[in-house]
Structure 1
Amino acid sequence: QGPGHSHWSYEEREHWGVDYPDCAGNGQSPINIDTAKTTFSPQLRPIQLSGYSLPANEKLRLRNNGHTVQLDLPESLAITGGYTQQYRAVQLHLHWGSLSGPGSEHTVNGRRFAAESPFGPCLCHYCGFSVLQVGPRENPYYQEILEHLYKIQSEGEEVLVPGFNIAGLLPANLKLYFQYNGSLTTPPCYQTVKWTVFNQTMLLSHSQMSVLVMTLRSDDSQPLQNNYRPVQNLHGRRVL
C-alpha cells in the first residue's frame, strides 16, 4: 500500500524501530550513493518500460494519504531489465522538502536533490525512482499530476486524473543507473526492496516545485512538507 495507512509520522522517524523492528535493521533505505565506491556489474541490463503511454480516457486515481501524494497505476505497466526479472508498476509517489530546503530521500555523493519520485511495486520487491531538480522550464509530464493537487489538499481526498505518458516521469536514458538491496523508506520498513536509482535527473520549474511543497496538508492538517527519511548506514552493502 506504500507510504501511509498506519499511525506513524515523519516527526518521529528516529523512533520508528520501536513499533516497527525492521526500521532498525541493517538493510535500510534510503542511502547516500558514493559513486566512487560503486561496483560495475555487466549483468545489469538497461531498464525497459512497456504499456506506459496511457490514453486520456483511462482514469488514474491520485490521492493524498496524509504522508504523500500517490498515483495508482494500471496493472498493464511493466518494468524489465536489471537482473532480467519483470515487475508490474502499481503506484508512484513523491518525497519533497520545503521552500527552504530540498527533500529527496536518497543522496548522491552527499548531495540532496529537490524531490524524489519512486515508482513500482515498492511494497514487494522492486522500487525505481527519479530524482527531481529545479530547472528553467515547466515539466509537462509532472504537470499532469501537479495541476490536480489543489483538489486533494486534505488527507484522504482523491481525484481521478486522465491517463498520460507515464514514461515521461522518468529519465530518457534508462541505461545508466545504480542498484542496491534495501528497504521501504516508511514503516514497516520491510527489507525486501531492490532499489534502482537513475543517473539522469528530471527537472521541474520553480513554480511547479512550489506547488508541490505548498499545496497539500498532512494527517494533522499541517503543511505536508519534508516527507523524507534521513540516509541510513550501508552496513557493508554493495551499490552496483
Structure 2
Amino acid sequence: MEMYKNGNTKAIWQGGEKHALIGVSFNALTNYSESIGKDFVRVVSCNTTGLARTLYPISQNYGIDNVQAVMVRRSGDPKDSDRGPLNSIEPVLNVPSHHGPDVQTVISDLNIQTMAVKVPTTIMHVHCIIAKLNKKPNVKDVLSIWESTPRVNLLDGFLKNGETKIRNLPGTAEIMELARDLSYRRGDLNQIAVWRDGVHALDDKLYYYQAIHQESDVVPENIDAIRAMFSLESDNMKSIHKTNKALGIN
C-alpha cells in the first residue's frame, strides 16, 4: 500500500486480501457510496459478490433474521492444472468459513453463518442458502424481486411438459454452455444464476440455490469501483446500468 501512497496512485485490492488492510470493501449494489472518492478499495470475492447480490434485495424487502449457507466451491479455475482436489471432497473445517464475515463487510447488519467444501470441478461455485426472514416469504414475490435486481439471472433447471420433467439447465455445465451459446465475452457469466425451480418457502424460511462463475462475476464490480473511486458517478444504479450496457450484461 505504501508504494501506491507514495506514487499518489489509487488501487483496488482483490477479495482474497483482508478487509482490515484496506478498510473499505465494495459491492456495487449494497455499499457503492462508501467507496466514492476513496484511494484504496477492496472488491470482495466471487462468492461474497454472489451472496450479496441475492441477499441484499431480500433484506430490503423482507428483512433477514439469519442466513445459513453452504458454499460448494470449485477446486480451481480451468487453467489451474496444479490445483485440487482431483478425486476427493474437502470440507473447510473452520466454522464459519470466511465467506460469512466477508459478506458483513458489505452488508454490515446481516446475521450470516457459512460453511464450505471444495469439489473436483473447475466450472462454477454453487451456494445452498437458507434465509430466515422477518416475515413469511412468497416465492412468486421473491422471484419478482430478483428479476428486477441487476446481475441476477433466473434459470430453469427443468421444464415441464405435462407431467414430464425435461432437463434444461440442471447443473453448472449446462449453465456455462448457455453462456457460450449466448456469445458472452470469453464465455463468461457476469450474472449470478439462480435456479427458479430451486426457490422454495417454508414458514418464514427461504430456500434457494445459486451458481457463481468465479472467473467473471466480479468483473463489472471492478468497473463500478473505479467509477466510485474517481467520483465519476454518485448513483450506484446509474453506474451499474452503464457498466452492464458496456459489457452486454442483461
Fold in common (TM above 0.5) = no
Higher gyration radius (CA) = 2
The structure with higher relative contact order (CA 8 Å, sep 6+) is: 1
If the length of structure 1 is used for normalisation, what is the TM-score? 0.23
